[in-house]
A and B are shown apart, each in its own frame.
Chain A
Amino acid sequence: MAEPGKPVQIKVVDDVVIRFAGDSGDGMQLTGTQFTNTAAIIGNDISTLPDYPAEIRAPAGTLAGVSGFQVHLASADIHTPGDEPHVLIAMNPAALKASLRNLAPGGTIIVNTDEFTRGNLRKAEYESNPLEDDSLQNYMVHTVPITTLNRNAVEDIEGLFAKGINRSRNFFALGLTFWMYDRSLDNTIAWIEKKFQKRPEIVEANRRALQAGYNYGNTTRTFQIRYRVKPAHLPPGIYRKITGSEAIALGMVTASELADKPLVYCSYPITPASDILHNLASLKHFDVRTFQAEDEIAAMGAAIGAAFGGAFAATGTSGPGVALKSEAINLAVALELPVVIVDVQRGGPSTGLPTKVEQSDLLQVMYGRNGESPVVVLAPSTPSDCFDITIEAFRLAVRGMSPVFVLADGYLANSAEPWALPDPESMEPIAVKHPKPEDFQNGSKFLPYGRDPETMGRPWAIPGTPQLEHRVGGLGKQPGTGNVSHMPEDHQQMVAERAAKVASLVDVIPDLKVIGEDTGDLLVIGWGSTYGAILQAVQRAQRDGKRVSAAHLRYLNPFPGNLGDVMARFDRILVPEMNMGQLAMLLQARYLQEINSLPKVQGQPFKISEIRNKIDEILSQGLGTVGD
């Protein structure tokens, strides 16, 4: 708390974007997470962007090794981690260099001067020391010898080795940041005490480092202003912080409980999807059965086997894993079994950018399989929406007896936001029907591929049920019986039935909502994690008097039934997406309306300003010209 009498001014701001940046080994993800937790607990709205290298420990001090964590906290409803950090905490020259280009003009920089050695400057490819030339003159720079100050604070702790001394300096930086933002240390201290309870010397070092950082802010006059971000006006309720990966895991468990089914989650480790498996592996008391498969193909195969056995089956992966699973996904299409496939998209092609975001798997999941292979495709818009959409995925999978894709991405998976805890009592159970022998007593014959007239789904008869023994397979089938058939008419009918079944889900998915006026000069259509940036860009344009609306697709196959009508009410359509225009292509092909595409493939989410600028650019063009 600020001490009365100090000539330090507290300035109330609506929001602030802080970026912690350091070496991969500097603990920046932990520092950012702790800062976020405290902000969340006092009631700020938060949105985070962890941004780390693919290597676990890239060479220390290099640009490749910089690990960043950006957090946006606000007293208003926010939807993105912020376009530009206002404050940068740079633990070394590489962190400064890598983060500087995004920093807001006039922004604050706190640098650990101890690390600005000649060697580190060279590793960061600096020709001269930026702290000594005038390259930082447009920023408010605070030079703090963090390493030295931290060492002074902790070096006399008994049992603490030399390596442990420097390891705590991220807590010094965190303590200083807590002071700047008028935050209590209590929550982080409690966390430290619990996390390192078996290592008292580490607890002591981290606690002292944290306090020393805080005291440094308090006692030196380096900082004239402290900032305060008031709690946000969120709807009442109990909240927690949640990432997309956590939300997907919780959504899967919830769906299985709503159906009174065990969850079998089969996966092969892959960035950035592994966290889902990590989360689920620790939830065995919910009768979650996790299977770490030998490869991506095996993970999909096991999920299919589990679904055949009557469990709620799911797998999670990223783009390269989807490529490997494709043949097995097609088997699930042919067997018509409910399997949920989560694709946490990352930059491609090939291994691409394992830790960076992209939305370039849309066409892969829609069409990247042999034959006519329709599947249901959903996309969550926010970390907390990952929860809802995962439950929806199971609901549709069971109804349509079909594989369902959830197209998340690396940004959604790792990003955190406040989440109002749902009330299990208010959730609708997921009805699952398995046929029984007595359903077929009055002469009706069990047909493995007979279709429910309402859902077009086939019966989910599971092994262990007497008299309903049947065989399914990937070969061409006779409709109804499912017996192997290569007859021309049989094949055409089966292809048509599978397509119609998926298409018919349009009857149970909600209409697309327009955010803003129902008609206007421009409609910005998005899908997936671009939601926040698009929403805020459109809201800003609306405030500026533009006739612009937004619409966000959570359902990509089938599209909402009113999508074509919604699009037709606008003169122009803009589709920002983190690929080269995949949704734009689908929309143009389907609705024959001209689309302006705003592609971005930089491994980073959209900035609000990028979309806002594109809106102006399109609106300034005369009607009838092609955008893009």
Chain B
Amino acid sequence: MSDTIKLNRKDFRSDQTVRWCPGCGDYAILAQVQKVLPDIGVPKENIVFISGIGCSSRFPYYMNTYGIHSIHGRAPTLAAGLKLANPDLTVFVITGDGDGLSIGGNHLLHACRRNVDINILLFNNRIYGLTKGQYSPTSLPGTRTKTSPMGSLEQAFNPISVALAAEATFVARTIDREQRHMGEILRRAAAHRGTSFVEILTNCLIFNDGTFSDVTDREIRDDNRLRLEQGQPMIFGQDNDKGIRMSGCFEPEVVSLDDVDAEDILVHNDKLEGSQLAYMLSRMTRPDFPVPFGVFRDVDHLTYEEGVFQQVERAQAARGVGELKDLYVASDTWMVDDDRNGHNGHKGAIHDED
């Protein structure tokens, strides 16, 4: 069957025409997902893509796997139910900054908290695209749109911080323009047991072009981003001449490597059980800090569905696999005899249920 035949990216293309705007960052994500999936060792009939509503959420239609294009913000709920029906499936949730952090914020939090074994890919373009350009929960304060002509007044969500606060066991960030990096992150996310949360920065050419230009423009990007590598010191810059050092009371600072000892530079560790380091990194934003890319946290916890099935097994071990005839018996049963004299001699045994 298909798991013995090596698949390639074409096997994951559906027969539907992709209808994102020309130049949309979503194309790059689609291409990379289709490239990575043949390598994760899962037959394509065991893969399900579930999305909400928005530009990004058209994604499942373009994947030749099982898929649901659901309703706004609710994809994580469908994913959780699906994993309870069949825990063997590999499930991807495709969402955006509006879908996942505004209307669906609650579900995103609870999916992470439960550690359902799903992969949440949040396409963050800091704008509502499909409704034609209103500010989103990740739009930077002051963003001017049709609904915020004088600039938006709201503090933006930091998706990585949100996921960490929600106890996600795998949290990572990548970007549409870095295909190889995205591929690595997607592979690690798929391999992770439990909820994987991946923020993918993506450019909306029509309504928010260049929102991430300081980390994509060739001339400046290397000075503005920090690649997180497990066990590696946090060094960045066009000439690899800058690093991150802890100072004071858990405050990071950017230092020049010329001025400090190499051992003072912070070394990345995404396996820490506590999420303090990951959270500190998530708070590093432009212009004071480089934007970190890579895996912030990758820890191994029991998944929600593993817990559910362990309880089923324990209940079956303790009480035997349920049989219908036992289901109906309660603590008190009584017999009505055939003689219709209303003689009721029999009193049922007391059972455990009550």
Return B111 CB to nearest CB of chain A, in Å. Answer: 9
A302 and B78: CB pair below 8 A? yes
**Proximity string of chain B (34-60) to chain A, C-beta cutoff 8 Å, 1 when within and 0 when not:** 000000000111111110000000001
Within 8 A of B (CB), among A13-58: 37, 40-43
A-B contact count (CB 8 A): 247
Question: Please, which residue of chain B has its CB at the minimum distance from the CB of A239?
Answer: B334
Known contacts A301-B107, A464-B45; A471 and B68 CB within 8 A of each other: yes
- In the complex, whether B133 has a CB less than 8 A from a CB of chain A is no
Judged by a CB distance under 8 angstroms, whether A106 is at the interface is no
Q: A246 vs B106: C-alpha distance in the bound complex, in angstroms? A: 31
Would you call A309 and B86 a contact (CB within 8 A)? Answer: yes
CB distance from A39 to the nearest CB of B (A): 10
CB pair A308 B78 closer than 8 Å: yes
A241 at interface, CB cutoff 8 A: yes
CB of A238 within 8 A of CB of B335, answer: yes
User: A291 contacts B45, CB within 8 Å?
Assistant: no
How far, in angstroms, from A391 to B111 measured CA to CA in the complex? Answer: 31
> What mask results when residues 294 to 305 of chain A are scored 1 for a CB within 8 Å of chain B, else 0?
110111111111
Pick from A240, A289, A294, A470: contact of B308, CB below 8 A. A289
- Cβ of A231 < 8 Å from any Cβ of B? yes
User: Which residues of B are found within 8 Å of A194, using beta-carbon distances?
Assistant: 350
CB closest chain-A residue, reference B88: A464
Q: Are B66 and A240 in contact (CB under 8 A)?
A: no
Known: A304-B78, A463-B82, A463-B89. A233 touches B342 (CB 8 A): yes
- Which residue of B is nearest A38, CB measured? B332
Interface residue ranges of A304-342 to B (CB < 8 Å): 304-311, 313, 327-328, 330-331, 335
A264–B84 contact, CB under 8 A? yes
A279 to B153 alpha-carbon distance, docked (Å): 48
Q: Which of A3-11, A357-365, A472-480 contacts B (4 or more CB under 8 A)?
A: A472-480
Whether B82 lies near A309 (C-beta < 8 A) is yes
Query: Does the CB pair A239–B71 fall under 8 Å?
Result: no
Q: What's the Cα separation between A328 and B312 when bound, in Å?
A: 28
B121 to chain A minimum Cβ distance, whole angstroms, is 17
Chain B, residue nearest A483 (CB): B16
**Within 8 Å CB of B350, what residues of A?**
190, 194
Task: Assess whether B230 is interfacial by the CB under 8 Å rule.
Answer: no
Residues of chain A within 8 A of B2, CB atoms compared: 466
Does A262 sit at the interface, judged by CB under 8 A? yes
A41 to B346, CA, bound (A): 9
Which residues of B have CB within 8 Å of A240? 328-330, 332-334, 348
Mask: chain A, 470-501; 1 = CB below 8 Å from B; 0 = not: 11111100000001100000000000000000
Task: Check if A236 sits within 8 Å of B336, measured CB to CB.
Answer: yes
Flag if A306 contacts B81 (CB, 8 Å).
yes
A240 to B329, CA, bound (A): 7
Contact between chains at A424 and B78 (CB < 8 Å): no
Tell me if B149 is interfacial: C-beta within 8 Å of chain A.
no
Smallest Cβ-Cβ distance to B309: which chain A residue: A289
Q: Name the one of A236, A238, A246 contacting B340, with C-beta atoms under 8 angstroms.
A: A236
Q: How far is the CA of A295 from the CA of B344 in the complex (A)?
A: 46
Residue of B nearest to A42 (CB): B344
A253 in contact (CB, < 8 A): yes
Interface residue? A282 (CB, 8 A): yes
B64 to chain A: which residues have CB within 8 Å?
469
Establish whether residues B334 and A285, one from each chain, have CB atoms under 8 Å apart when the complex forms. Answer: no
Question: Quick one: which of A264, A282, A475 has the most chain B CB within 10 A?
Answer: A264
Report the minimum CB–CB distance from B192 to chain A (whole Å). 20
Encoded as 1 (CB less than 8 Å from any A CB) or 0, chain B from 71 to 86 comes to 1001011111111111
Contact (Cβ within 8 A) B77 A297: yes
Contact A473:B322 (CB < 8 A) given known A233-B342, A308-B82, A464-B89: no
B324 close to A (CB within 8 Å): yes
- Which 6 pairs across A and B sit closest by C-beta, in order of nearness? A301-B77, A309-B85, A473-B69, A305-B81, A302-B81, A231-B342
Write 9 A-B pairs (CB below 8 A) sorted by A numbering: A43-B342, A253-B327, A285-B318, A301-B107, A309-B85, A331-B70, A422-B328, A463-B86, A466-B45
Could you tell me which A residues sit within 8 Å of B by CB distance? 37, 40-43, 75, 187, 190-191, 194, 230-242, 246, 250, 253-254, 257, 262, 264, 266, 282-289, 291, 293-295, 297-311, 313, 327-328, 330-331, 335, 420-422, 424, 462-475, 483-484
